[in-house]
Structure 1
């Protein structure tokens, strides 16, 4: 049975709140821990958790008709954390988050149009324009000293690469579920496959994580909370919501990340950035206040391995 639309929206909201803590948590890792190690640990370990807690469901999806989408999504799962944490390391928590997550809705909508010829609704265009406008305000409303060391532009480019990967695996997840896979099995198969690619990166770069107990604790939180639990919730939501709607609602993440970056990490934003926060909230409100569309094809949710 599919979750109600309100429950699906709530699942993405909770996932976004968890995702929004990633940059702040990573900011407290020792300097010796590279962003590549952080990304590989977060989604490598988290992806393996999704796989090993539902092995039969995951294998069934890997053997099913959606295995091509699983493979495509796994590439996105591999690229996303490496680019995402690199972007935050170079450009800061706020910019890294808003660029990566802000580009996600555009990628998923274009993939829906390319593969399904789904038209872009006026409401989606207005909501996404508001939200991405807010993202742009956040990304560029920085005090001038930030750009002086030449790290912001590479960070923005890394964020855009992360957004492309994020949109790809979100859309691929939706297609795999629509093809008949359970949401639990789809998450396990896709993120487990991506984890197989990420664990060698962790083996090469992760030594500083093992040398510090606090770093291990932070990495464990990132793998279990913003990865394992959050993507279980995404799987639930994708049974009811289009991938483009999921990525637009998930723009709550950069909002949360920005507030935490300012309040906890100590990053500074200009007043226009706070207008950007309101624009993101407005875009999400426009989108989720729409009357439900026709029920999308979904798959039964089964939490038994």
Structure 2
């Protein structure tokens, strides 16, 4: 029994790691369509990805419909959080730089997630292993950020706004992740939980394209970029993430997604041709140690 729980925990971690790898490609791919606004990329990718999620989970949604109605307030809050998250996240990357925007958004999410769990989830508390993992991961993230020189050229005022938007993105990411986990713990299937959150969130996001969607389909490259973003990181990635949430807490899942900036940095080196100083590689090493602590954290299960 204990062995099965540990195996399930590891499977959940690897599912979230897989999602993080897909999400780590978004910054590089989005940079291929510079004439499309960050708001449009966020709204289209998460909006269409949300409809894709809802479509794939329609059977589970029918089965869990009555259970979902009981939690309609949580669903409303999570749908709004989901809609705000990509707008804040992609705007943060555009204003503060890809590295800073990504790191602030992802690095603050574990803190907000564990606060939500402690405030609203019964029996949940901050463990020593979580604090150790968080400390190591945040140190690694900061080393990676400070090693980046690209964000230095961003105008200071815009950079500050980008950082604030990154904090907003981290908070709203934690909110809809916590709600999804709470729904799953109430006996709702993971596909149903994410399907309903993403489905309603997409209804909020897609209308914003009427204002922000200039040049969205102006070229084949733009079409390929937004199509990839919607179907792969936002579609397939969140299917894997929802599966992982069945076995991993929202706060631990948020820590595991610290792997996303590592992927983003590696792609910047391999594809964009950027270089990472030794300080940055040290940060990547600490992030990997953070992930290892999370994997080992389930060894007592």
**Which residue in 1 is equivalent to 2:102?**
97
- CA distance in structure 1 between the partners assigned to 2:149 and 2:205 by the alignment: 35
Q: How large is the RMSD of aligned CA atoms in angstroms?
A: 2.1
Matched, 1:232 2:239: yes
Matched, 1:8 2:12: yes
TM-score by length of 2: 0.91
1:153 to 152, 157, 160: 160
**Which residue in 2 is equivalent to 1:281?**
288
- CA distance in structure 1 between the partners assigned to 2:129 and 2:300 by the alignment: 12
Contact 2:85 2:173 in 1 (8 A): yes
1:264 to 271, 275, 281: 271
**Which residue in 2 is equivalent to 1:204?**
211
- CA distance in structure 2 between the partners assigned to 1:83 and 1:268 by the alignment: 27
1:143 to 139, 146, 149: 149
Q: Secondary structure in 2 aligned to 1:289?
A: helix
Unaligned runs of 5+ in 1: 295-305
Matched, 1:42 2:45: yes
Contact 1:33 1:208 in 2 (8 A): yes
- CA distance in structure 2 between the partners assigned to 1:14 and 1:105 by the alignment: 18
Contact 1:95 1:156 in 2 (8 A): yes
Taking a change above 3 Å as real, the CA distance of residues 144 and 191 of structure 1, as seen in their structure-2 partners, is: closer
Deviation at 1:66, TM superposition (A): 2.6
- CA distance in structure 1 between the partners assigned to 2:111 and 2:133 by the alignment: 12
**Which residue in 2 is equivalent to 1:223?**
230
Matched, 1:80 2:85: yes
- CA distance in structure 2 between the partners assigned to 1:152 and 1:138 by the alignment: 17
- CA distance in structure 1 between the partners assigned to 2:110 and 2:93 by the alignment: 19
Contact 1:127 1:286 in 2 (8 A): yes
Where is the helix percentage greater, Structure 1 or Structure 2? 2
Taking a change above 3 Å as real, the CA distance of residues 158 and 266 of structure 1, as seen in their structure-2 partners, is: farther
**Which residue in 1 is equivalent to 2:56?**
53
- CA distance in structure 2 between the partners assigned to 1:229 and 1:148 by the alignment: 33
- Number of corresponding residues: 293
Matched, 1:65 2:66: no
**Which residue in 2 is equivalent to 1:251?**
258
- CA distance in structure 1 between the partners assigned to 2:73 and 2:227 by the alignment: 30
